[in-house]
Amino acid sequence: MKDTKKTVGFVGIREAAELSGLPQHFWRKELAAGNIPHLRSGNKFYIDYERALAKLRGDEM
């Protein structure tokens, strides 16, 4: 039997908004406040999507 759970990993702001249904503005605001685990490469932000969702749910890893 195959494991159907897909691991997401790091995603851009636009993709995080599409996956979660939350607006890009929310993700940008939380990144600016330092509330979302992320990496920055140049002017691009990569959100650690799974950890960010866990933190938002209160299941902080």
pLDDT at 19: 93
**Does 41 fall in a domain?**
yes
Name the one residue in this structure whose structure tokens are 């950890």: 51
- Please answer whether residues 52 and 36 qualify as being in contact, where contact means their C-beta atoms are separated by less than 8 angstroms: yes
pLDDT at 6: 66
**Does 1 fall in a domain?**
no
- Separation between Cα atoms, residue 12 and residue 42, nearest integer Å: 13
Name the one residue in this structure whose structure tokens are 């990496």: 39
Give tens-digit pLDDT for 35-44.
999 999 999 9
**Does 19 fall in a domain?**
yes
CA 26 vs. chain centroid, Å, equals 11
Say whether pTM exceeds 0.75. yes
Tally of structural domains, the chain: 1
pLDDT band at 59 (very low <50, low <70, confident <90, very high): confident
pLDDT at 47: 96
Give tens-digit pLDDT for 3-35.
555 677 899 999 999 999 999 999 999 999 999
CATH number at residue 21: 1.10.10
- Residue 40 structural domain: 10-57
